[in-house]
Structure 1
Amino acid sequence: MSESSTPIESAEDEHRRVAGISAPDLLSEARRLDAADPLAHHLDAFADAPGVAAYLDGNSLGRPLRDLPEKVGTFIREDWGTRLIRSWDEQWMALPMQLGDRIAEVALGAAAGQTVVADSTSVLLYKLMRAAVAARPGRDEIVIEAGNFPTDRFIAAGVAKETGATLRWVEPDEVAGVTASDVAAVVSERTALVVLSHVDYRSGALADMPAITSVVHDAGALMLWDLCHSVGVVPMQLDEWGVDLAVGCTYKYLNGGPGSPAFAYLRAEHHGAVTQPIHGWWSASDIFAMGPEYAPVGGIRQLLSGTPPVMSMLAMQGMLDLIADAGMPAVRAKSISLTDFAVRAYDELLAPLGVRLLTTRDAAHRGGHITIGHDSFQQVTQRLWAEGIIPDFRFPDGIRLGLSPLSTSHEETLRGVLAVRDALTA
């Protein structure tokens, strides 16, 4: 976001406001961090949002890139408008696999041929959960965190009902998040599948993916990770860490736009052994044979079912290029800097007002957002939105500050925290 497009007080005025609550150096620190930020030049790649003074919800919906309207226009005029149905043969048929490989290369630490873009997060979670349970005959338990995102829990419950399995719940510390010891306490020879989120959607707690995956494998079970709140902001090595299955959305830190399709990762060694249950024509061995019986294709295309949403795959492609240019280690470093600064601003501006920190202070165990709590935050969020300050509210009393590294500055982060302070003291 262009700094010049966002309204802000003069340095003198804002210094006076900050000084009034015993944090006179916060604004200077924010500007120092922004001046030293090696990724600062990426801010201008994102479209301006008139009337928005601070957008702190990139962990729910990423901002569009500035050049996206032209890219969409070119697609409509040329790929669709001129090439028409010929574009299927020329480029679109392979796009789900090609884009999956690009996500794997840029953000997942995974080799080609194991990731595909298709469907929604919910549909892909169902496909992989159902397939994983079937791939472990004789085991009748699914392990999932009690506080996991509702879709994950609801789908796990549905799969358990369909297969006669039992749900076993992991109940970790709400701030620290799930640990390897938490998982070790509930897995057994009856466990078929463990389903966990890499980053907790509430607290932002970052799970130890390699350690937990190892615990699950020691029990003989399969491990499915939900990457929705970590892909594009937290580096990972799915191949090296032995992950079996993973699903992630593309509209948060990958900036694919509202409702953009999700992706699924299936480790190469499971191809053919783990078979998904929705037998659509796109996963048939010969997609145009129109034969009387379903014969699945080998490889990652087997996770497809119906015609992929090609237009909805456009927006994320430019963001993947930006992430590749920056490199995930640098993205993670900027993310830690932003969340560390947000915690510092919380300490100085919000803690004295009775606001609770619902996220760990340990950056090594934190994803890309922090969560703060106060009984009045539902009403505060409504006021903030009306003033062009956009975090999000999570029931019952939490505000999440989602700090997407390539589109968010430290100064914008401070602007948001100051607005929360003002709303509480008005």
Structure 2
Amino acid sequence: MTDFTKTRAAFHLPEGMTYLDGNSLGPMPRAAADRVATMMQDEWSDMLITGWNRAGWYVQPRKVGDRIARLIGAGDGQVVMGDTLSIKVFQALSAALALRPDRRVILSDSGNFPSDLYVAEGIARALGATLRVVEPEAVEAAITPDLAVLMLTEVDYRTGRRHDMPALTARAHEAGALALWDLAHSAGAVDVNLLGADADFAVGCTYKYLNGGPGAPAFIWTHPRHAEAAQPILQGWMGHAAPFAFDQEYRPAAGIERMRVGTPPVIALTALEAALDIWDQVDMKALRARSIELTEAFIVGVEAECPDLVLNSPRDPARRGSQVGFRHPQGYAVMQALIAEGVVGDFRAPDVLRFGFAPLYNDLEDVERAVAVLARILRDGSWDRPEYHAKSAVT
């Protein structure tokens, strides 16, 4: 049984703020600052270069990866940390294509995060492949015998729609293709089971629901059946079989270690470890049940109190992640007004107010306050002030 009152107390949440944007950036674990300070004072400061061995910095990407593996239905030794999510998408997609050399079609959907599509477009151009993008509802029908890789984000970043990972992966395999899943809005939000779904590759970030902090490193997972055959185009020093032999020619390390690229971000990984201490207390089935409770309550409340808003997320919770979107013609201004009132969500073009619900620190009181403030600013028109229409660089 997960004690969500206890996990909420483990985060620093500014007084008076209702934070519903953990699907963009999770709040800081209270222990993170001291954990990082200790690492800097006791390890970096005193150990200097010897910290790679004495403090375990070199093996940190695998050790942290093993802790994340439990949250995504993977096994020990199957996940490694490092670099950004786009780099991990590049590695996974290029490795998957290399495993299907007689095919050159990548399939994705229009709800995928644009950055993933940018990466796929670049790889397709470089390798003479084709990127097909269809509507989310048309994915299954678009899985044809010429497909090499199905590349999808499990939970849509705007709508919160959740793809059926086991069913679509099975359909891809029937067609002779591989399945690559982006878990950016899944890891720490829903009950992911990569091995159960028989996926081939998966990637994800740790600064959202996993609360690793801004710029926290990404992770990559390879199914064990591909671990010794995967050959990503991006081959880095840390992914070499013997990095400190300084060979001129690349030899891939065993298993998931070959998916390492550059020097690991030790300070960022240390902050993430503080967050994972909280996650060690969490049962993912309990988390999923709590997520559904919160999102259902929010939808009911908003539809009752805010008739001008239109639901932009699946109504069935089984088809939804841990976020809810509503549409409004002036969504940006409405969200800025909400933020000014201490209810923090975010905006996604063209007109979506997006709210992320993280059971580790959100509760029904957050839902009630968010609904009440949103209803009030829509009713009194206070959102329609000039300062709320002025767009910032980050929306």
TM bucket, shorter chain: over 0.9
Contact in 2 for aligned 1:183/1:215 (Cα 8 Å):
no
**RMSD, matched Cα:** 1.5
Task: Name the structure 1 match of 2:377.
Answer: 423
Measured after TM superposition, the shift of residue 251 of structure 1 is: 0.5
State the identity as a percent.
41
Q: Give the alignment of 1:401-412 within 5 angstroms.
A: 401-412=355-366
Q: Distance in 1 between matches of 2:196 and 2:11?
A: 33
Q: Distance in 2 between matches of 1:190 and 1:45?
A: 49
Q: Distance in 1 between matches of 2:348 and 2:248?
A: 49
Q: Distance in 2 between matches of 1:256 and 1:311?
A: 11
Matched, 1:282 2:238: yes
Contact in 2 for aligned 1:250/1:256 (Cα 8 Å):
yes
SS at match of 1:185: helix
Q: Distance in 2 between matches of 1:287 and 1:92?
A: 15
Measured after TM superposition, the shift of residue 357 of structure 1 is: 0.6
Q: Distance in 1 between matches of 2:141 and 2:314?
A: 23
Matched, 1:115 2:71: no
Alpha carbons of structure 1 residues 391 and 323: separation in structure 2 relative to 1, 3 Å? same
Measured after TM superposition, the shift of residue 355 of structure 1 is: 0.7
Measured after TM superposition, the shift of residue 38 of structure 1 is: 4.4
SS at match of 1:113: coil
Query: Deviation per CA, 1:131-184, whole angstroms, max 9, x where unpaired?
Result: 211220110110000221100111111111111111222213xxxxx4xxx333
Equivalent residue letter for 2:126: E
Equivalent residue letter for 2:245: A
Q: Distance in 1 between matches of 2:314 and 2:248?
A: 55
Task: Name the structure 1 match of 2:294.
Answer: 338
Query: Deviation per CA, 1:322-353, whole angstroms, max 9, x where unpaired?
Result: 22212111111111111011011112111x2x
Q: Which of 60, 82, 85 lines up with 2:24 in the alignment?
A: 60
Task: Name the structure 2 match of 1:311.
Answer: 267
Contact in 2 for aligned 1:201/1:229 (Cα 8 Å):
yes
Task: Name the structure 2 match of 1:188.
Answer: 144
Task: Name the structure 1 match of 2:168.
Answer: 212
Equivalent residue letter for 2:296: D
Matched, 1:388 2:342: yes
Greater shift in the superposed pair: 374-383 or 206-215: 374-383
Alpha carbons of structure 1 residues 410 and 213: separation in structure 2 relative to 1, 3 Å? same
Task: Name the structure 1 match of 2:184.
Answer: 228
Q: Distance in 2 between matches of 1:315 and 1:365?
A: 32
Measured after TM superposition, the shift of residue 37 of structure 1 is: 9.0
Equivalent residue letter for 1:154: Y
Q: Distance in 1 between matches of 2:295 and 2:196?
A: 27
Unaligned runs of 5+ in 1: 1-35, 173-177
Equivalent residue letter for 1:225: W
Task: Name the structure 1 match of 2:228.
Answer: 272
Equivalent residue letter for 2:12: A
Query: Deviation per CA, 1:24-59, whole angstroms, max 9, x where unpaired?
Result: xxxxxxxxxxxx994222211111314x42111011
SS at match of 1:116: strand
Equivalent residue letter for 1:101: D
Matched, 1:73 2:29: no
Unaligned runs of 5+ in 2: 381-395
SS at match of 1:239: helix
Task: Name the structure 2 match of 1:322.
Answer: 278
Q: Distance in 2 between matches of 1:282 and 1:37?
A: 37
Q: Distance in 2 between matches of 1:160 and 1:326?
A: 40
Task: Name the structure 2 match of 1:159.
Answer: 123
Equivalent residue letter for 1:419: V
Measured after TM superposition, the shift of residue 403 of structure 1 is: 0.8
Q: TM-score, normalised by structure 1?
A: 0.86
Q: Distance in 2 between matches of 1:283 and 1:38?
A: 39
Q: Distance in 2 between matches of 1:124 and 1:185?
A: 27
Greater shift in the superposed pair: 183-192 or 141-150: 183-192
Query: Deviation per CA, 1:100-136, whole angstroms, max 9, x where unpaired?
Result: 111002x111111111001100011011111211220
Equivalent residue letter for 1:43: R
Contact in 1 for aligned 2:2/2:283 (Cα 8 Å):
no
Q: Distance in 2 between matches of 1:412 and 1:87?
A: 42
SS at match of 1:139: coil
Measured after TM superposition, the shift of residue 306 of structure 1 is: 0.9
Q: Distance in 2 between matches of 1:225 and 1:371?
A: 22
Task: Name the count of aligned residue pairs.
Answer: 379
Equivalent residue letter for 1:281: W
Task: Name the structure 2 match of 1:19.
Answer: none
Query: Deviation per CA, 1:399-420, whole angstroms, max 9, x where unpaired?
Result: 1111111111111122112221
Equivalent residue letter for 1:359: S
Greater shift in the superposed pair: 285-294 or 246-255: 285-294
Q: Give the alignment of 1:248-267 within 5 angstroms.
A: 248-267=204-223
Query: Deviation per CA, 1:238-265, whole angstroms, max 9, x where unpaired?
Result: 1122110001000011000001000000
Task: Name the structure 1 match of 2:97.
Answer: 133
Q: TM-score, normalised by structure 2?
A: 0.93
Q: Distance in 2 between matches of 1:320 and 1:37?
A: 15
Task: Name the structure 2 match of 1:371.
Answer: 325
Alpha carbons of structure 1 residues 420 and 37: separation in structure 2 relative to 1, 3 Å? farther
Measured after TM superposition, the shift of residue 68 of structure 1 is: 1.6
The structure that has the greater radius of gyration is: 1
